[in-house]
Amino acid sequence: MNKPLSAAPHALDLARQVLIIEADAVRALTQRIDDNFLRALNLILACKGRVIVSGMGKSGHIARKIAATMSSTGTPAYFVHPGEASHGDLGMVTAQDVFIALSYSGESDELLTIVPAIKRQGAHLISLTGNPQSSLALAADAHLDGSVAQEACPMGLAPTASTTAALALGDALAVALLDAKGFGEEDFARSHPGGSLGRRLLTHVSDVMHTNASIPSVTNSATLADAVLEISRKGLGMTAIVDDSKHLLGIYTDGDLRRTLEKKVDFSTTPVNTVMSKNPRSIGPDALAVDAVQLMEKYNISQLPVVDGNKRLVGALNMHDLLKAKVI
């Protein structure tokens, strides 16, 4: 049997050195954010088509991430493989587009092969390389310098610090675009509807509240027995008390019921309006569901009546509804 592998004693030191080298590589980029970066930024801001990002090998993986980050932050972008581009996929590129080409050497054959076609098409070219004098850098309308002092790989062969630097530059460009476009949290949520932020920023009270016959409510003339029966029927742990025009007057909850039992009142004759909580907390149907969560947590309550602008009861919800909608 083969002897099990074990980490060398210096593994931790080596790992720390890798992180130091890559951190230094990213830190050094701050000195190279100049007019070229602004030129690239303005080319993309003026773009009426799409941003196309391309690269070979490890640069291709970074290019995919840059395209994904841009797309999710308000700059429509997609990845095109340079090898496939020269065999038909270049038909995706139009004069309205901006093409971002990643190659640390700046001499990637696959990218250099398609550069003339991109230029003929009329698309603008941005290059991200480690050599400002490379063929790709000189052909570009704007060049981003992602050069690094050394790779983190002990042999200096595997792209490590250079790919980290390229990724960081791509993030810097995406965030600068986000800011220039005024892209906010709600915009981000719209492109991430399946994520927790999307649910928090796109789910409104009206999306999760109980409506019509499922709203627990009794009139102002109801007895305690009527209120308890309504709480039991609707299963929300409370009932609203309303006047004949459905205006909210109060609320009676499971907690109120426990406190009433201690008083030993006659449920069949006691009016609910004598023991209800008057002027209860409520929320509007157009409010974000996350606002309902905050209101419940602030006042340590589990249910909320939902009212319109005229304080008429239009819905009801409790904490379980919000948990089910994954807002919490």
Asked, for residue 199, whether it belongs to a domain, the answer is no
Do residues 264 and 173 both lie within one domain?
A: no
- For 128-146, what is the mean pLDDT? 96
- For 225-236, what is the mean pLDDT? 93
What's phi and psi for 73, nearest 5 deg?
-125, 25
Do residues 72 and 32 both lie within one domain?
A: yes
Do residues 284 and 171 both lie within one domain?
A: no
In angstroms, the CA 21 to CA 85 distance is 34
Mean pLDDT of the chain: 89
Asked, for residue 196, whether it belongs to a domain, the answer is no
Which residues constitute the domain of residue 142? 11-183
Taken in order 285, 289, 290, 293, is the CA torsion positive or negative?
positive
Q: How many CB atoms lie within 10 A of CB 269?
A: 9
In angstroms, the CA 88 to CA 70 distance is 24
Do residues 117 and 222 both lie within one domain?
A: no
Q: DSSP assignment, residue 52? A: E
State yes or no: pLDDT of 34 exceeds 60. Answer: yes
The per-residue pLDDT for 172 is 95
Count of domains observed in the chain: 2
Do residues 84 and 146 both lie within one domain?
A: yes
Do residues 177 and 259 both lie within one domain?
A: no
CATH number of the structural domain spanning residue 313: 3.10.580.10
Of residues 162, 157, 146, 129, the one with CA closest to residue 21: 162
Do residues 166 and 234 both lie within one domain?
A: no
- For 290-310, what is the mean pLDDT? 91
8-17, 128-137, 279-288: segment of lowest average pLDDT: 8-17
CATH number of the structural domain spanning residue 175: 3.40.50.10490
Do residues 178 and 281 both lie within one domain?
A: no
Using one digit for the tens of pLDDT, what is the confidence trace for 241-272? 999 999 999 999 988 898 888 888 889 999 99
Find out whether 257 and 216 touch, Cβ atoms under 8 Å: no
Do residues 50 and 176 both lie within one domain?
A: yes
